[in-house]
Amino acid sequence: VVRRRRLQRDHRRLRSDRRHGLRRRHPSHRPQQLCHRRFGAYQRPLTIVALILSAGITVYVTGAVVDAINDIPLLAPFFELVGIGYSAWFVYRYLRLASTRQELANKIQGLKDDVVG
């Protein structure tokens, strides 16, 4: 008796839904639809918040790794020498002559155009 009532109720719902142009989906789709309806309008702000949180976590972890590397006895001075050497090479390569400065400016402008659009 209970089963027959359920079937009749479901049949009435389906007829009513068809009359109004609605389609019933499997009940397992309802949570997905609910999430899409609730968060669909806020998808962009939620994405931005997630990216900001991810960036913060990345900065924190990177800081912890750099701090751990600084605690290794001869590694910090080695990295300082590498940084000084790279800076000297950069000045020699790009900032010494006007033509190479223009080349650097063109590379930077190209990068800006690629990023901004």
Domain boundaries, the chain: 1-40, 42-71, 73-117
pLDDT in tens, 56-115: 999 999 999 989 988 888 988 898 999 999 999 999 999 999 999 999 999 999 999 999
What is the C-alpha separation between 22 and 18, in angstroms, rounded?
6
Helix intervals (H) in 1-117: 2-19, 30-40, 43-70, 75-90, 98-116
Place of tokens 């309008």: 41
Q: What is the pTM of this model?
A: 0.47
Residue 6 and residue 69: Cα distance in Å, rounded?
Answer: 67
Length of the chain: 117
pLDDT of amino acid 70: 85
**Coil, strand or helix: which one is 72?**
coil
When comparing pLDDT for 117 and 42, which is higher?
A: 42
- What is the per-residue pLDDT across 40-61, written as a single tens digit (0 to 9) for each? 778 888 889 999 999 999 999 9
